[in-house]
Amino acid sequence: MRIRLSVMQFIQYFIWGSWFVTIGTYLLKTLKFSGSEVGIIYASPGMAAIIMPWLLGIVADRYLALQKLLATLHFTGALLMVWASEQRDFGSFFPIMLAYSFCYQPTFALTSSLCFHHLSDGQKGYPKLRLWGTTGWIFGGVIVSFLGWELEKTPLLLSAGASMILSVYCMTLPDTPPKSTKEDRHLIFEAVKDKSLLLLMTMAFLITIPTAFYYTFTNSYMTDMGLDYPAAKMSIGQMGEIVVMIFLAFLTNKLGIKRIILIGFIIWGIRYTLFAIAGKETEWIVWIGVFMHGFAYCFAALSIQIYVNTLAVPQIRSTMQGIFSFVVNGVGTMVGSLLAGIVAQYSMNGNTIDWSVVWWFASIFSFIVAGFFFFVKKNLRMI
């Protein structure tokens, strides 16, 4: 079972990694979109995640088997991605990508829910499955980078092909039928009133805002610096993720979730500071910042996601994962991407972006979030 779930995670994140990092460069350099328009495109997954994950989480909990819902979403997403690859202007590209996001974005929460459903100990077992998702992300970015597709539409077609494969593969997964009933509605309301959950969701939202700067503009930043194979080199961060995921359960047991999350927030600020001070002559500073991505992501977002699953009873776990996706991949990503586009537009110097302004903004924002959590973490109930 673990092997089958690992394959699902690999393809799920290969789909994302093959286009998400490089699309900003393609839009800026090839299609000549503005910084604000790129920010809006990157905000489309967040817009979709505001509605779809929790809504489809309810569908998965009460009406439709998870594997069938996933197959339908990936099949539809593949068709939309092919359509998007043919567009050349913002007015036609954006609505198609928004529709695609409505299909793809919920699959993060749904695949996580499916994994948790078939794991006896999600806190220890899920990170080991999730690292295969990171491996898929790496493979997608490396393929695009080394084949020189970063300025082309080809990554969109690669993603579409992978989506079609995963659609078929999902139908071979074990049946994961709905568990919830109408009588279980009160469980959702009881869960969302938990003060620790509300605090963690708030912190996840806040740190997702500067996180969006990384996904939106790092590839363009590295391209402007004249660095070769930027998408492939960005996968160094995902390699760091794999290392951290292997030891995440051990580190959480030793340090506690409060310290783990605080360290993750601080690392976000440090890595953006490194980006702000780096230059062509100090390229090694960029690689340190990229490698730290794994620590920042796993210590913050992944730890909170595992907490959400631990808190939720089995009948509402898909719904709770959907709410988490709503907060992080939805509102947080949308606000962060739009803000990143505004900051990039503001920092334009002629036809170029002053990247130091962008990264200093993200760095200061991250440190403020870390400072806020330092003072409120005493209110977080341990698990």
pLDDT in tens, 318-342: 667 677 777 887 788 888 988 998 9
Give the confidence band of 192 by pLDDT, cuts at 50, 70, 90: low
CA 19 remoteness from chain centre: 13
What's the pLDDT score for residue 272? 96
Contact criterion met (CB below 8 Å) for 54 and 325: yes
DSSP state letters, 28-39: IIIS---HHHHH
Which tokens sit at 194?
Answer: 């938990």
Mean local confidence (pLDDT), 308-313: 68
Domains belonging to the chain, first-starting first, are 2-379 (1.20.1250.20)
Tell me the per-residue pLDDT of 275-310, one tens digit each, with 9 for 90 and over. Answer: 999 987 888 899 899 999 888 988 888 787 777 767
Q: Are 344 and 218 in contact (CB under 8 A)?
A: no
For the segment 233-262, the average pLDDT, to the nearest whole number, is 83
- Written as one letter, the residue type at 181 is T
Tokens of 233: 């080199």
